[in-house]
Amino acid sequence: MQLMSLPSNQRPREKLLASGAKSLSDAELLAIFLRTGLPGMNVVELAQHLMTQNQTLHNLFNATIDDFCAQKGLGVAKFVQLQAVLELSRRYMMEQCKRDAVFNSPQSVYDYLTLELRGLQQEIFMVLYLDSQNRLIKEETLFYGTINAASVYPREVVKAALKNNAAALILAHNHPSGIAEPSQADKLITTKLQQALQLVDINILDHIIVGGDNCVSFAERGLI
């Protein structure tokens, strides 16, 4: 069926204008991004086909350029557009974190870190440097590991925190396995970092682990 043959309340653009973006399904939002369909398949049908094929937005958005472009209705131009949209989203969330006292609005931190770290095949360890008002000074990736573990050196974390004049830190790393539960090694390195940073009067407010679309907060678990 041609898209214009559908009632206006079933067309993604009109539905968004009438009821807001939150009222749309994943496929309908994807259809707005795609803009056009294919011969014999309108844009909503194409979006639904892609959602069925990829199962989740996460799988589609984290596909390699070759896997992405191999799919019906997609190509290099769409891949470039998608990467631009994702990067704009990351930068918007970072602006929110910088504007707010991040520990007073933890959801913005979770959203940013989930977007930044999910889907990575290599484990990385990030630090968010905060001022005395718990506002973000900057974020930095300090360590890169294998798919199984990252080597984290307390001395380097202390040195970086002092260099950035941080009053407090939020630690973050990803689990490429997709399971966000903290390991014993995660708990041990957090304790070591707490002890090292206490010597220079810098607090760790949280350690957040991202696995897939989920994240676990040490602070919420009572582990910090």
Query: In a structure prediction context, what are the per-residue pLDDT tens digits for the chain, which is 224 residues long?
Result: 455 566 666 788 898 998 899 998 999 999 998 888 888 888 888 899 999 999 888 888 888 899 999 998 889 999 999 899 888 888 887 777 666 656 566 777 887 788 788 778 889 999 999 998 888 888 899 988 865 566 888 999 999 999 999 999 999 999 988 888 998 989 999 999 999 999 999 999 999 999 887 889 999 899 88
Q: Copy the structure tokens of residue 135.
A: 């506002």
Number of H helices, E strands in the chain: 10, 5
Beta bridge pairs of residue 144: 124
Amino acid in position 101: A
* pLDDT for residue 105: 65
Alpha carbon of residue 23 to chain centroid: 22
Output 39-44 pairs: Cβ under 8 A, ≥24 positions apart. 41/73, 42/1, 42/2, 42/3, 43/3, 43/12, 44/3, 44/6, 44/11, 44/12
Question: Which secondary structure element, helix H or strand E, spans residue 189, and what is its range?
Answer: helix 184-198
* pLDDT for residue 179: 86
Q: Is the pTM above the cut of 0.85?
A: no
- What's the angle, vertex CA 202, arms to CA 200 and CA 203, rounded to 5? 140
Amino acid in position 23: S
219 CB-contact burial (10 Å; exposed 0-12 / middle 13-18 / buried 19+): middle
How many residues in total does the chain contain? Answer: 224
